[in-house]
């Protein structure tokens, strides 16, 4: 059974979505992230993926108060990321109510630090992000390309005990035109033990069914919910 994980992206304390990671395409969907989180919980969803886009861009956590309010007012199992750069940052996020930290750029730039976190917090507390364009990892809120291939990146972390990652194909994100099935198939063929969470491009129930069929363990859905391409009611089947 595939896990449905709704997403809340934060800029200036509001729920927004971008297209292909471009901050110029920002669209505000709701002034109150807490209201949105409660709607997800009321619909029976258990997980929530929160990204502090201000934090990702500025390199420090900005929207921690929103995490606190959502964690206090709901029973959602929250993963939070964006701007987590130090062990103190990670600890702050856990103390503020997230059960998992989601990380990307730091895992590329400072793998040794993240290996320490795996040791001290446990691999299950870390959701590794892989943001890709043409199978190469992108960092810093998708603003910067690297020479690191996704296969090498995942392999390095699986060897350190990580078993869960979310992968976003930036070319698909926010376009509602379908998911990167071929990329996910390839990753699951190479890493059959991986709990792979798909992200980016979901526009219909069919996309979710396809992801479930190839063995993805979860799917992050954002824009399709906000644009009402998918209803929370439809997701009850999963």
Q: What is the DSSP string of the chain?
A: -PEEEEEEEEETTEEEEEETTEEEEEEEEES-HHHHHHHHHHTT--EEEEEEHHHHHHTS---HHHHHHHHHH---EEEEESS--SHHHHHHHHHTT-SEEEESHHHHH-HHHHHHHHHHH-GGGEEEEEEEETTEEEETTTTEEEEEEHHHHHHHHHTTT--EEEEEETTTTTS-S---HHHHHHHHHH-TT-EEEEES---SHHHHHHHHHHT-SEEEE-HHHHTTSS-TTGGGG-
How far apart are the C-alpha atoms of 112 and 238, rounded to whole Å? 37
DSSP string for residues in 209-238: HHHHHHT-SEEEE-HHHHTTSS-TTGGGG-
Q: Which residue is catalytic, options 79, 131, 173, 207?
A: 131
Q: Any catalytic annotation for residue 89?
A: no
134: annotated active-site residue: no
String of DSSP letters for 68-100: HHHHHH---EEEEESS--SHHHHHHHHHTT-SE
From the candidates 9, 52, 89, 169, give the one annotated as an active-site residue: 9
Catalytic residues: 9, 131
């Amino acid at each position: 059974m595939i896990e449905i994980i709704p997403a809340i992206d934060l800029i200036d304390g509001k729920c927004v979505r971008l297209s292909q990671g471009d901050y110029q395409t920002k669209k505000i969907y709701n002034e109150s992230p807490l209201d949105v989180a409660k709607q997800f919980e009321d619909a029976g969803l258990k997980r929530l993926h929160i990204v502090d886009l201000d934090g990702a861009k500025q390199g420090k956590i900005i929207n921690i108060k929103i995490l606190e309010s959502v964690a206090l007012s709901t029973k959602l199992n929250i993963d939070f990321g964006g701007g987590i750069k130090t062990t103190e940052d990670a600890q702050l996020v856990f103390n503020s109510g997230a059960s998992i930290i989601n990380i990307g750029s730091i895992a590329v730039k400072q793998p040794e630090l993240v290996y320490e976190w795996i040791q001290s917090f446990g691999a299950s507390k870390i959701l590794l992000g892989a943001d890709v364009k043409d199978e190469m990892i992108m960092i810093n809120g998708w603003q910067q390309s690297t020479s690191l291939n996704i296969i090498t990146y995942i392999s390095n972390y699986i060897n350190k005990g990580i078993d869960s990652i979310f992968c976003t194909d930036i070319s698909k994100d926010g376009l509602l035109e379908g998911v990167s099935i071929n990329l996910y198939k390839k990753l699951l063929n190479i890493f059959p033990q991986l709990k792979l969470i798909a992200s980016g491009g979901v526009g219909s129930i069919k996309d979710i069914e396809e992801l479930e069929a190839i063995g993805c363990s979860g799917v992050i859905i954002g824009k399709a919910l906000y644009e009402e391409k998918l209803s929370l009611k439809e997701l009850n089947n999963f």
